[in-house]
Chains A and B, each alone.
Chain A
Amino acid sequence: MPVLWLFLIVLAIAALGFVLGRRRALKSADGESRRLHSLPIYYGTNAAMKVAVPALGLLCLWLLAQPLYVNSRVAATIPDAAIAEGSTLGLVMSDVRRVARGLDLAVVEGAMTAPQAASLDAETADVRQELASLGVALGSTVTADTLRAAQDYRAYSTTGTLMMVVAVLFAAIIGCGWALRETDRDFRARNVVERGILVLLIAAASVAVLTTLGIVLSLIFQTYEFFTLYSALDFFTLLEWAPSFSGRGGASSLGLLPLLWGTLYISMVALLVAVPIGLFSAIYLSEYASSTVRSFAKPMLEVLAGIPTIVYGLFALLTIGPILLSVFGDDTLGWMQGQRAVLTAGVAMGIMLIPFVSSLSDDIINAVPQALRDGSYGLGATKSETIKQVVLPAALPGIVGAILLATSRAIGETMIVVLGAGAAARLSLNPFEAMTTVTAKIVSQLTGDSDFASPEALVAFALGMTLFVMTLGLNVFALYIVRKYREQYE
């Protein structure tokens, strides 16, 4: 809560700065705004900006940095002996944080007074019981070390928060004073404000770069950690995927290949559905269809693109699966055992990709100039011959690019395979068998388990890295093909 209050106080100071800055500027020009360098509003904005931007920036940085700093300070005080067999520093620290939060909660709820909470002793009081009564569940009983660390943690956090309040308010007031001091009829307020706004605009544009950086760094660090626990060679070459959660490490074999095979197989089925349907729809819509048909069919197909993937997942599991089972199942051909299969997920994914392929190809086919078609008709070719021998070759690089983009979409698709493809990793050619994919395993390795130190959980980051590299590579390759082989018709 203090953060919200602090935020509001800073905003209030900024508003005050706005009023004061404007008034001061007008006063310096004897109330005649034409004598000012800039419009009066810019003097106010200048003051408000100098209050809010540094103070709020400091607040954000502090909120990000304080937990990291407190964590490392407290973690350094925990002796190695306090870390139980099979546990890690990270687990102990998460217990410490939970105890600290529980104690804070106890003070807020009035179950303990502040000095009582600060002088709590692990020997005499059953901390776990007391916190459990407040709804804070702990994984193990609280040892003296944990409790002491938690008290340290609370002390550091309290000091830190206090310092944050002081520092932020100080920054706000300094900013206000500075802005008011420089406010004068000759002060170029508009130029300063506009430069400030430009900096904010650049910062906003840089968020995209920060996001990519965040993705790449988090993937690299965790993947590196995974490879220190598990052999990279095994990860890339083992033909078996069998994580064990009971015995930590050692017993699991985490081979990428079966997952990769499942991913590629399902994507292939999806493309076999999506590419012919999407491509022929695009050809028909752009070359044959009357404008009424086009204005009806094109948006209808695009509705398929707006439907969330969870819907396709459920559709695969509960509609496509049973339909396929009734055709290929035990009662008839006996090829298919369960609803979840490569074909189930592949068909659903294919339906999802139809509008993707068709609208991209449609744009590309439309971009082929009419003169090429007219030339072909003039030589006596029929419409279909023109399409097959003139339009499609001209549009080919774009179409290949569209298919590559669709492939990258298929490889990264998660919900359809989580619901429709099954959980068993298999290296098999049978499309009626359940298989699993890279994305499905990322989900299953990272949900429900809060311990991120075991190779079984960290492998998800290595899988994520594989996925990221694959999709990025496909996208870059698609762009490259489109750029390199694009015909210029100017």
Chain B
Amino acid sequence: MTDTSANRPGSATSLITPDARTKRRNRAEARFKVYGITAIGIGLLFLVVLLGSITVNGLGAFQQTFVNVPVYLDPAKLDKRGNRNIEEMKKVSTFGYNPLIQQGLLDKAAELGIETPLKKRKQMKAMLSASAAAKVRDFVLANPETLGQTVEFKLLAASRVDGYLKGRVQRKDVARDKNIDAEHLDLTDSLVAAGVVAKTFNLSFITGADASESRAEQAGIGVAMLGSFFMMLVVLVLSLPIGVAASIYLEEFAPKNRWTDLIEVNISNLAAVPSIVFGILGLAVFIQVMHLPQSAPLVGGLVLTLMTLPTIIISTRASLKSVPPSIRDAALGVGASKMQSVFHHVLPLAMPGILTGTIIGLAQALGETAPLLLIGMVGYIATNVPDGIAAGFLDPNSAMPAQIYEWAKRADPAYYERAWGGIIILLVFLLAMNIIAILLRRRFERRW
């Protein structure tokens, strides 16, 4: 600044009228600030777009289209001998029920006076989910006395009809689609107007099981949720005690020697190892060497335990460290042993911090997918709810993120909606866990 005046002798500079250079510097200052604001804006924009696209695409999965069909349960077809013997009635497969349901829908349309070029019974197939017949069959086998009556069923609509109501399937796409025709969509419009076809809340998406590739309308995340639950149990039961014990040793007892250094270096390195490498470890050690069952939540839990341990150890050590030494000294002063001072005084005071760290570690483990791919939790169609606790740990199952990945891989766009919906459920769980962690910290954390 001194040289500006030196370059221009005679032109006195004033603090009130800024010279060119000051202006330039002020502009640079403003520009720099704008860069920062822009960067934060872009970051927040990404967040909004991400959350927005999850909500917009995923909320549809919580609604499902149902068709109310009165079905005449024809005894001549379903119980040919007429003696109401359950064993004999079980011989009629779902193929025997399909015509009755389709006829029921056709009759309903005729009764409402809907004009449709679809006159054949078979043409109604495109309207209903392939699972409808199984539902009616289960009902009949459970209530054989209803044979001969006309019962009103609330059946799942086919995935294309569902997509049409949600705007996923457009009329222009239908021309190339062999599963459904424009006439079906006309019929759907009329049935919606008549209240026969309607979208309602879809509980079975949250509680149900996965379905085969062609029945997107039936798929649910419930069984995978159970798989995740059993995995988290394993992680909690193993990683909390091991993590706390390891941190107590390292923080309170470990002498400064090579072995301690080795452990410390190992823990900080493990925290940075890519998660897929833990999957390789699980595959090689737990499945190939120890022959534990593939796709089992137990193995998934073990792998995720090894992955979460560093997180838990690091946060536990931080909260042990924050307990002031005066507590330890006071305990030692009244004659407690070192072990007693730690377990009776330091550990209870550090507990809120430890639990917070554990919950955050569990939340991380809940969302982790890559290691689960390697131990066979993908490609498996989780259709059965595990019976019993041992089966829950040992029987093949999926997990929520693995199920979402599985849906994202399937070709039918109806499954994309399921995947987004699954993400909403997963994020709700993560959000709940993080809120619990924050509340725990707020409520119990002590400042010394």
Contacts and interface: CB of A to CB of B under 8 A. Distances in A.
Interface in B352-374: 363, 366-370, 373-374
B313 interface: yes
Given A64-B290, A204-B245, A447 B376 contact: yes
Contacts of B338: 194
Contacts of A452: 288
Contact of A215 (B272, B277, B313): B277
A9 interface: no
Contacts of A68: 289
Question: Interface of chain B, helix or strand or loop or mixed?
Answer: helix
Contacts of A285: 36, 40
B33 A419 contact: no
A301 interface: yes
Given A205-B246, A218-B281, A468-B277, A443 B370 contact: yes
Given A201-B253, A218-B281, A301 B40 contact: yes
Interface in A301-332: 301, 303-304, 306-315, 317-319
Contacts of B280: 215, 218-219, 442, 446, 460-461, 464
B162 to A, nearest CB: 18
A319 B1 CA distance: 52
Contacts of A288: 33, 36
A190 B254 contact: no
Q: How many residues of A sit at the interface, in one of the four size bands?
A: 35 or more
Contacts of B408: 313-314, 317-318, 419
Contacts of A8: none
Interface stretch (B48-56, B63-71, B76-84, B321-329): B48-56
Interface string A235-248: 00000000000000
A319 B49 contact: yes
A383 interface: yes
B126 interface: no
Given A208-B266, A310-B405, A314-B404, A385 B245 contact: no
A315 B363 CA distance: 20
B25 interface: yes
Contacts of B50: 304, 307, 311-312, 315, 319, 351
A209 B258 CA distance: 13
B249 interface: yes
Interface string A434-450: 00000100110011101
B196 interface: no
B29 interface: yes
A112 B49 CA distance: 61
A281 B47 contact: no
B29 A383 contact: yes
Nearest to A285: B40
Nearest to A276: B39
A354 B46 CA distance: 10
A6 to B, nearest CB: 14
B288 A198 contact: no
B43 A301 contact: yes
A413 B309 CA distance: 19
Contacts of A443: 276, 370, 373-374
Across the A-B interface, give the 10 residue pairs with the lowest CB-CB distance, nearest first: A412-B274, A308-B367, A284-B36, A280-B39, A218-B284, A204-B245, A384-B32, A201-B249, A414-B370, A205-B246
